[in-house]
Amino acid sequence: MRSALFLILIPLLTACAVARPPLELADAVISDRQVWSGEVRIRGVVTVKKDGHLTILPGTRVVFEPLDRDKDGIGDGELLVEGGLVARGTAEAPIVFTSGAAQPKAADWKYLYLDFAREGELAHLVSEYAYSGVQIHFCKATVTDSEFRYNVDGLRFSTVNLLAAGNRMHHNTHGVRFEERRSQAHLHHNDIRDNDIGVFVVTRSDDAARIEFNNIAGNRQYNVKMGLEQPGDVTLPRNWWGSADPEIVVRGFFDDRQDPALGRVLAPQALSGPVAPADWLKHQGDVR
Amino acid sequence: MKILKLVLLAFLLAPLTLPVPAVACVGKTIVVGALDTPQQQLLANMLAVLIGERTGTTVKVVPAATHEAAHQALLKAELDMYVGYTGVAQVKLLGAPPLADQAALYKAVKDRFNQELNLVWLEPFGFADPRLAPSGTVAEAAPVVRKDTLKKFPALARLINKLGGTISLETMQKLEAGVKGDNAKDVARKFLKENRLI
């Protein structure tokens, strides 16, 4: 009898798993523990509230339907996390956040936004065609082995305790954009290239963010750019800048050499060759 | 049997969520108006690129049919700024008598816009275009910005004023000659880059 039941149930369960329709959400809140898998289509804002927790399983596709209610040219779709988020994909089955537009472009949707989140862990995640691939503010989070592409901002943060390692930021307006504001941020073994600006230091940096052992090279306008209100120097030691020639390296910076009101970008102990982002875990002990 | 029932139940219930309305978080985009002329497109894109690239703020250039339409849109907060001309502002928008003295005209327009309309004339770009001067006036071009926009972005005036006095009439004519089709943004960016402003 039990064997017969298995024979009936297993194909049924398999069929359900394969043919399961996407989970479709409009503006929604999550106040309990939820798990997403398969395809999730969002039209509007999904908020994980303080007492909520969302786990996203490997291979999940989160698709933001085109929506621009205020017609400001920036899509309104977002996943706002005030509670917990664990989005842990795998190399073989990354989690993808993307646009549902027929011809996707940057800012089709707003962002994956961690704001005062209780928990934030992103690994093997691809985030594309957003205003910000991910924004992290006022919380502790890790972002590893992920890819941020075709966004205005790839990874953006302020006032965080953040580890970002082994990520690739490419073909964004800004690969990394931050307002330090007393952050304890450590970015290492990231590959930041082919953006308009590699690292955009907007303002309020006291030179405490540790940005080292990254490849910051081949960005179209500048590898590092100081924002209008960044009068203090910013140090990015031990990175690969695409060249070992100090004069060439300096040409990739927008700082007090263009506008005397700005601080200077300092790049001591520049590396003589690129780092391997995928090996970041092996080098955890090498970085200070 | 009991375990199988539990597995089946868990499998069916796991993906369910509870949709409830929520409030969206919206950022501020700066909107610059521009008439459909090479000069207006150039100057509007110059403002947009300068602001966007130096501050990271999103800036959008939108069309305006006439100076009067742009002015009304600015008053209604549909625009944050546009490029105005002192002669047009004095005679057509304020209905005031023309003034031939360039400095006096700029001051008269700036003062009335500020006091009566809460609009701020920033530093002139550095040229006056005779094609846009009503009879008896000169026509200096300058950014005109809503006062509440400047309050929201305190560094904006200082940034935009970096363009003050950087464009002579000769330079403007050269830049305009370089505008072909919809490349005004590229020409504007090249100018800003050459002048080490971005």
pLDDT digits (tens, 9 = 90+) for A14-27: 544 556 799 999 99
Q: Is the pLDDT of residue A150 over 90?
A: yes
Q: Which of B8, B15, B58 comes nearest A23 by C-beta?
A: B15
Element (H, E) at A136: strand A130-137
Per-residue model confidence (pLDDT) at position A71: 84
Q: pLDDT, tens digit, for every residue of A39-89? A: 999 999 999 999 999 999 999 999 999 999 988 889 999 999 999 999 999
> Does residue B24 belong to the interface with chain A, where contact is any CB pair within 8 Å?
yes
> Does residue A112 belong to the interface with chain B, where contact is any CB pair within 8 Å?
no
Amino acid, res. B186: D
Structure tokens at A113: 């936004």
- What's the rounded Cα separation, in Å, for the pair A207 and A182? 9
Per-residue model confidence (pLDDT) at position A251: 96
Q: Which of B31, B53, B57 to mutate against chain A (most A CBs within 10 Å)? A: B53
A78–B24 C-beta distance less than 8 A: yes
Beta strands in B64-197 (DSSP E): 81-85, 119-121, 141-146
B22–A30 C-beta distance less than 8 A: no
A44–B25 C-beta distance less than 8 A: no
CA nearest neighbour of A60 among A92, A34, A32, A94: A94
Whether this model's ipTM surpasses 0.85 comes out as no
Give the pLDDT of chain B (198 residues) as one tens digit per residue. 555 554 444 433 333 333 322 222 335 789 999 999 999 999 999 999 999 999 999 999 999 999 999 999 999 999 999 999 999 999 999 999 999 999 999 999 999 999 999 999 999 999 999 998 899 999 899 999 999 999 999 899 999 999 999 999 999 999 999 999 889 999 999 999 999 999
CA nearest neighbour of B12 among A139, A278, A196, A12: A12
Per-residue model confidence (pLDDT) at position A267: 97
Q: Which of A32, A110, A228 to mutate against chain B (most B CBs within 10 Å)? A: A228
Q: Which of B8, B58, B196 comes nearest A9 by C-beta?
A: B8
A110–B25 C-beta distance less than 8 A: yes
Q: What angle do CA A196, A201, A203 make, to 5 degrees?
A: 135
Q: How confident is the model at residue A182 (pLDDT cuts 50, 70, 90)?
A: confident
Q: Mean pLDDT of all residues in chain B?
A: 88
Q: Which of B7, B25, B30, B197 to mutate against chain A (most A CBs within 10 Å)? A: B25
Q: Give the gap in angstroms from C-alpha A153 to the nearest C-alpha of chain B.
A: 9
Q: Give the domain ranges of chain A.
A: 22-145, 152-280
Q: How confident is the model at residue A281 (pLDDT cuts 50, 70, 90)?
A: confident
A202–B56 C-beta distance less than 8 A: yes
Q: Which of B14, B18, B55 comes nearest A227 by C-beta?
A: B55
Per-residue model confidence (pLDDT) at position A8: 53
pTM of the predicted protein model: 0.86
> Does residue A4 belong to the interface with chain B, where contact is any CB pair within 8 Å?
no
B29–A73 C-beta distance less than 8 A: yes
Q: Which of B4, B17, B27 comes nearest A28 by C-beta?
A: B17
B4–A72 C-beta distance less than 8 A: no
- What's the rounded Cα separation, in Å, for the pair A236 and A211? 5
Per-residue model confidence (pLDDT) at position B16: 35
B196–A258 C-beta distance less than 8 A: yes
Q: Mean pLDDT of all residues in chain A?
A: 92
| CB interface of A with B, residues 201-260, below 8 Å | 202, 221, 227-229, 254, 258-259
Q: Which of B26, B53, B55 comes nearest A70 by C-beta?
A: B26
Q: pLDDT, tens digit, for every residue of B17-58? A: 333 222 223 357 899 999 999 999 999 999 999 999 999 999
Q: Is the pLDDT of residue A125 over 50?
A: yes
Sheet strands side by side (includes A140-144): A33-36, A53-56, A84-88, A119-123, A140-144, A161-165, A184-188, A210-212
Per-residue model confidence (pLDDT) at position A72: 83
Cβ(A34)–Cβ(A56) below 8 Å: no
Chain A hits for B194, Cβ within 8 Å? none
Per-residue model confidence (pLDDT) at position B21: 29
Domains and CATH numbers, chain B: 27-194 (3.40.190.10)
